[in-house]
Structure 1
Amino acid sequence: MTKSGLILGIGVDIIKSSRFERLLTSKSTTFASRLSKRILHPVHELPKFESMNAQRQVQYLTGSWASKEAVFKTLDIELQKKFIFNEWYRSHDSNGKPFIKCDEYPLANEEFLLSISHDDSLVIATVLRQKLIENS
């Protein structure tokens, strides 16, 4: 049995990492802490972020933001109203392929495939939302 997917949505976000660099360095450390806690998943992302140096933190936070904005754009309006950034997290499957998910996401048999690229200060994330269909 194989699985294929029915495309439900596609989302794209592009952002300059310098935007987050300014937010993380020009504001107080409490502001940076509050911002990262609003964006990053408390178990899967925040501990990694806190262990990074400042430059890597900017890249990581920018990538998380872009990925989650792209997910948001794949959702129907009713699901967008319930969207909370720090409930979603990025990870990789056993082959190293990136994905993004939310353990609280209400719909079964869906997956969110992620592609993310960094070029100098630009970060772009694309998310494909698909419903999994089992084929015999």
Structure 2
Amino acid sequence: MKNVGIDIIEINRMQLKPEFIKRYLSQEEWKEFQTLATEFSKKQFLASKWALKEAIYKALPSEHLVFDQINITENEYGQPTVKIKDYQISLSLSHNQTNVVAIAICH
């Protein structure tokens, strides 16, 4: 059985407050976030991580997931990847200048 989670978020709704950011980014993601130069790139990065983690949360409703403990990376093709326990999770992310949409499929 496959579980699917989907999330969409408006980029400009993201808040650049450190107390908000640190609750939702892993330590590795936080380091990457700090290298971003523009306000928009920071908001887009946060929206992407948020949408992916929300989609994962929806695909794994029985798991107790803590967002800052989920580390989303990219593979050699730029596709988002994640490792949570023994789950095989496929992720997809798309965005434009306004919105980010993420899909997580747990196999």
**Same structural fold, with TM-score higher than 0.5 when normalized by the shorter chain:** yes
SS of residue matched to 2:95 = strand
Write out aligned runs for 1:15-26 (5 A). 15-20=9-14, 23-24=15-16
AA partner of residue 34 (structure 1):
E
Identity of aligned residues (%): 28
**CA shift at 1:95, angstroms?**
4.1
2:56 maps to 71
Structure 2 residue ranges without an equivalent (≥5): none
* RMSD of aligned residue pairs (Cα, Å): 1.5
C-alpha offsets along residues 49-71 of structure 1, whole Å, 9 cap, x if unaligned?
01112221111000000000000
Q: Distance in 2 between matches of 1:95 and 1:17?
A: 24
Runs of 4+ in 1 over 2 A off after TM superposition: 92-98
- Comparing 110-119 with 60-69, greater Cα deviation is found at 110-119
Greater radius of gyration (CA):
1
Note the residue ranges of structure 1 that are not aligned, 5 or more in a row. 1-6, 25-31, 131-136
Compare the two structures and name the one with the higher strand fraction: 1
Q: Pick from 72, 85, 92 the counterpart of residue 90 of structure 1.
A: 72
Using the TM superposition, give the Cα deviation of residue 112 of structure 1 relative to its aligned residue in structure 2, in angstroms.
Answer: 1.3
Q: TM-score, normalised by structure 1?
A: 0.71
